[in-house]
Amino acid sequence: MEWDAETYAQKFSFVARYGEGLVEMIHGEGLSVLDLGCGDGSLTQLLAQKGHHVLGLDASPDLVKRARTHYPELQFVLADAVEMDVPSESVV
């Protein structure tokens, strides 16, 4: 499936809003979190703001590009979660 980042931002931003409740359920600080299917990175950013070490992963080149553009201080990986190979040094 090919995602268009602009369409995702306009029509699917509700997905990240659903995820905000899950972020609130993560207790502790400075945890390593892998955000699978990170989309445009908005939840990845929220996790980072909460003080966690995050790595965003998505299979869409367009969405990963948008995430990297909007959140250059965060790390995003272009990969399919089914076939991913995340180096251990990627997650603090």
pLDDT at 5: 62
Parse the chain into domains and list their residue ranges: 5-82
Of residues 66 and 7, more confidence is placed in: 66
Q: What does the pLDDT read at residue 59?
A: 92
| pLDDT bracket for residue 89 (50, 70, 90) | low
Per-residue confidence band for 13, with pLDDT thresholds at 50, 70 and 90: low
The CATH code belonging to domain 5-82 is 3.40.50.150
d(CA 30, CA 28): 7
pLDDT in tens, 45-69: 999 999 999 999 999 999 999 999 9
**Buried b / exposed e along 48-65 (16+ C-beta atoms within 10 A):** bebebbbbbbbbbebbbe
Please state the pTM of the whole predicted model. Answer: 0.75
pLDDT of residue 29: 84
Q: What local confidence, expressed as pLDDT, does residue 83 receive?
A: 83
